[in-house]
Structure formats: structure tokens, C-alpha cells
Chains A and B, each alone.
Chain A
Amino acid sequence: MTELPLLSVEIVRRRIAERQTTATALAEACFGAIAAANPRLNVYLTLSPERARAQAEKIDRLADRGLPLPPLAGVPVAVKDVLSTRGLRTTCGSRMLENYLPQYDATAVERLEAAGAVILGKVNCDEFAMGSSNENSAYGPVRNPWDTERVPGGSSGGSAAAVAAGLGVAALGSDTGGSIRQPAAFCGVVGLLPTYGRVSRFGLVAFGSSLDHVGPLARSAKDAAYLLAAIAGADPKDATSADVPVPDYVAELEQPIAGLKIGIPREAFAAAGETGGLDAGVNAAVRGALDALERAGCQLVEIRLPHTEYATATYYLIATAEASANLARYDGVRYGFRAPEAESLRAMYRQTRDHGFGAEVKRRILLGTYALSAGYYDAYYRRAQRVRARIAEDYRQAFQQVDVIAMPTTPTPAFRIGERIEDPLRMYLNDIYTVSADLAGVPAISLPCGLAGGLPVGVQFTGNYFAESLLLRLAHHYERLRGPIGPPPAFATPGGNGAQ
């Protein structure tokens, strides 16, 4: 039974429908795998066995009666700990929310359960989703299943590691500057950033509200398509959710890709210099993926995205400014940690925030407060918003020439734990390929395209607004051309690789 967690969405549903297994047995197998692996990987922060069992029994009763099963029937899912879950501890990787019990479910969580998924628990992440390595979690770093001395990426490091190691079939993550795609690349799984507004953020604890997205991580494009289909669509509880019809992402995977025009941004492959350098192994793997797509009939076209070199600077001003406002709510009054012995209200605020937040969160609050403060607003925040408009315009022009843009997801494979944590700027530059899609609001997907030095490499496809179907289709076809990658050697189970 232990190999079950490496199966796909469709195989899980079919095996339950055909009574080869039950949703309950599958959930139990997952909890067993988690108990065995969590001490090594530090993926799960909170388990929800009772909630999982109740949901699994509901699915099993449907199967018992021979009734049709919902699309995600019995599929065990990990949820990033920045998504609210009713009555289930939601820490955001922070001491500030160590004992916080949300009174409601995030819409994405609610929709996954409505589609039959079984929530296993909450997974580790960088504190308030701020980080690229998962080292900013107050509960210790997640370890990369491919090499436990290395980071899984961040901030959705727990989500990516859970999927890679088979501690769940799929996961929910959030992406503000790359936090779904970068860990997906580092852990060798698929991660999808939907269009801004495609998936409701209701119940997602806010970081940078004009940049925050909820999206799926999975072991295949098809599984990601199933999850997206379940969570996408307008939500009256989120005024920024888009009232745009949700296509049948799974059915559209099989449409052909020959003739698609794939734009290759010159800037992405020219990234040079000591900080932005593109690793040779990453370059080779991504080039290999592009060659395979060209042989499959896609047309590669060189394009320009001239303002992408400014994306990281733009992102770290806008995201931190928004974060400084969003995190003002943690003041020890309504929820979360409160410094116990403060004499006055203001001292309580200050001590609560100093003890409750970790170093990176403080750094970003300070940077954002600075960028918004009197005398600096125009020079920093407003200027960054104007550069953001340039970056979005670059994409608009590019999508007049091409259907999809391809580039690496990250400049290097997973780095070592501790290697960059003392150098925040160097850590930020790791996001060079991911932040611009969040700034423009366009969708992007990362999927594995090979190994470099035994570590997974991600290729990233970016599409025009609401082009998720096209991205998933291209990813799905490319997976067939590529063949299986993973699972990580330490998590390979004989006969259990569920790449299909």
C-alpha cells in the first residue's frame, strides 16, 4: 500500500471506483509515509487525520454504492500553511500564529474537498511566504527529497517536497514572486502560477495583495490540470477573482502543439555576471527541452523582454510595501502571539512584533515601510509601480508575436541549506526568472526538464492572461517527449512511480 501516494489523480480515482483500494486505506498509507519521512524532511507542520478520515469515508460510501465519484475522489492533498483551514492550525511558518485556529476555510481548500480531495494536513513554508529556500520558517527548514542537505526552494517548499516524496498526490501552494514554481523546479515537480484572479485568494493569508496567487503543485501536468479545474473560477468572497469561464483543462490537454510559437527571451539566457549567472547544467537541460519541442513541431522565436532585468528590484519594492501594510494586523490584539508583560498598548505592539516575527519578515516590513514613507514614496514605491507597467507591457507585446514564452525557472538547481541565508540580496536574485510573471499577472508553469548534477531542473512556460490551458497542454506534451523524471532516489518505491 505504501506505493499508493506516488499514483496519479486518475489512477487513485479508478482504483477506488474499481474497489481495488479505498480512500480510507490510501489516506492511512499517506499518514504512514509521512510518519516515516517527516523526521528527515520536516514537511508537515500539522496533520488532520480526523478531517481526512471523514472525507475519505464519504468517498468510500459513494464507491460502496457504485455512485459516480467526483474528479479528485480520494486524492490526498497537502495544503501550504498560509491557507486557512477551519479549526486546523494555520501557522504561516511563523511564531506569531503558532496556535492560530482559523474560523473558516480558504475557498481553494473548500473547493478541493468539494471535488473529493482528502486534506492530509498543513505543510511547512517560509514565514508568511517570504523566502526562496524555506529557511525562514520558524519551524525549521524543509529538506529537499533529492538531497536532504539542500533546500527545497521556497516559499512553498513543503508543498513541493510533499509531492516529490509521495507524501501526498498533489498540493496547494501560493506564489507571490515565484513561490510555487521555484520549489517545484528544485524538487522536480510541476508547479502552476495561475493568472491573477483565476483562483480565489479568500482565506490565503495576505502577503503582497497585488501579487498573491494560489495554485497547484503536482507530479504531472495532468494532475495539475485536475487541481486547477477544481479551484479556478469566480468567488463572491474575493473581489479580485475573475468572472471568466473555466475551460475543461483536462480535456484540452490532448489538443496538438505543432505550430505553436514559443518565444525565447534573449535576456533570460544572457543573464550573466556573478549574481545572475545561469548555471551551465540548467542551461543545457532547458535547451534540451526547447530542442525537443522544436522537433515536435513548435516554432522557436527569439524575443525581447527588455525590462525583465529590473523585475527583481521592482518586485522587492512592491511586495515589501504591500507586506508592510498587510502585516500591520499582527499586533497581539485579535489573534496570534502577544508579548505577555507589556506595560502599555504601544509597548505590547512593539514587543509582540519583535518576538513574533523572524528576521526576514522584519527586513521586508522595514524595507516596505521605508519605500512607503514620506519623502521616499515617489522615489521607490511609485517608481516601482511604473516599472511594473513597463514589464507588463513587455509581455503584452511579446504575446502579439508568440503563444508561449519559455525560459529556465531558476538560474541554478537547489542550493545548500545555509549557503545563502546570510546574504538576502543574493537570495532575492534567485527569483530573477519568476518574479516578472507575478508582476505582470500572467500565468506560468514550471516542470522538470532534466537533472543537473543529480538535481532537478525546471523549465518555465509563461502564457498570456487566462492561457493556463495552453500552458498545461504544452507541459503535458513535453512530459511525453521527456519521459519520466523522479521520484527522488531515496523515495523510489519498486513499481510505485506514478508518473502517469
Chain B
Amino acid sequence: MQVSREEVERIAALAHLDLTAEELARMQKDLSQILEYVAQLEQVNLEGVEPMAQVAAADADPEAKLRADEARPGFTQEQALANAPQAAAGCFQVPRVLGGEDEA
């Protein structure tokens, strides 16, 4: 299965990845090859088979494990910000949101 360059660009944008021209070409080739390989799944008879989203070994009834909805101690503000690349006034600081391409 051949994935077009435009398709890779579209996917990269969805994933917030800013790929170079070289990376785009490489990923186009790799994705095409991998998608060709996974096409073999079309051969499997899946009549009446439901998707398996989670291993059910342990949890026949995951609802039963919900804890009481009570507040518990969590991170302090200081801990939450400890690894922030940029913080100010107890908040995560980011470049401007409005203006430029973000308004599109």
C-alpha cells in the first residue's frame, strides 16, 4: 500500500510533528512498507469477533474497583511546576496562543 506524501503531511500535522523534507520522504517509504505488511490482517475471519480493548484476566468487573469519590492529597503547586520548562505566578507559561498560525 502506497501512502502519499500529502497523507504523511496530514498525519504529521495531526500528531503535531514538524517533519523535515528528508524525514517526510523516509516516513512515506516506511509507512507504506509497514501498512503493506499489516494488510495481511484482512485475511483473518473475524465473523462475530468483538474488539479486545483490554486484557480481562484480572477484572471481570472493573466497576467494582472504583474508589470512593473523595479528595486525596496530590501534588503541591511547587511539585507540579518542578519540571516545567517555563513557569510564572504558579502557572505553566507558554508562547502566545493567539495571533500567527494558531488563529487559523
Contacts and interface: CB of A to CB of B under 8 A. Distances in A.
A383 B85 CA distance: 40
Contact of B86 (A338, A347, A388): A338
Contact of A197 (B26, B46, B59, B80): B59
Interface of B: 3, 7-8, 11-12, 14-20, 23, 26-27, 30-31, 33-35, 37-38, 40-42, 44, 46, 49-59, 62, 65, 67, 75, 79-80, 82-86, 92, 94-97, 99-102
A428 B37 CA distance: 11
Given A316-B38, A369-B15, A335 B84 contact: yes
A151 B55 CA distance: 31
26 contacts: A101-B83, A241-B58, A244-B58, A310-B44, A313-B37, A314-B41, A317-B38, A336-B85, A337-B85, A344-B99, A345-B96, A353-B15, A353-B18, A354-B17, A354-B18, A367-B34, A369-B11, A370-B3, A370-B35, A373-B11, A373-B14, A383-B41, A383-B46, A428-B34, A441-B55, A441-B57
Contacts of A40: none
A210 B80 CA distance: 27
Contacts of B96: 343-345
A324 B84 CA distance: 22
A440 B54 CA distance: 9
A323 B80 CA distance: 23
A350 B17 contact: yes
Interface of B is mostly: loop
A347 B101 contact: yes
A103 B82 contact: yes
A101 B79 CA distance: 10
Nearest to B46: A386
A103 B40 contact: no
B75 A103 contact: yes
B46 A390 contact: yes
Given A210-B55, A345-B94, A389-B51, A331 B34 contact: no
Interface residues of A, number: 73
A392 interface: yes
Contact of B49 (A313, A333, A390, A441): A390
A128 B38 CA distance: 23
Contact of B102 (A239, A345, A359, A384): A345
Contacts of A349: 16
Contacts of A385: 51-53
A307 B52 CA distance: 15
Given A345-B94, A362-B27, A363-B27, A389 B57 contact: no
A165 B59 CA distance: 39
Contact of A390 (B34, B44, B100): B44
7 tightest A-B CB contacts, nearest first: A441-B55, A242-B58, A385-B51, A350-B18, A335-B83, A338-B85, A197-B58
A343 B98 CA distance: 11
A365 interface: yes
A350 B85 CA distance: 16
A382 interface: yes
A200 B54 CA distance: 15
Given A334-B83, A425-B37, A466-B57, A366 B51 contact: no
Contacts of A335: 83-85
A272 to B, nearest CB: 16
Interface in A344-380: 344-351, 353-354, 357, 359, 362-363, 365-367, 369-370, 373, 380
B11 A370 contact: yes
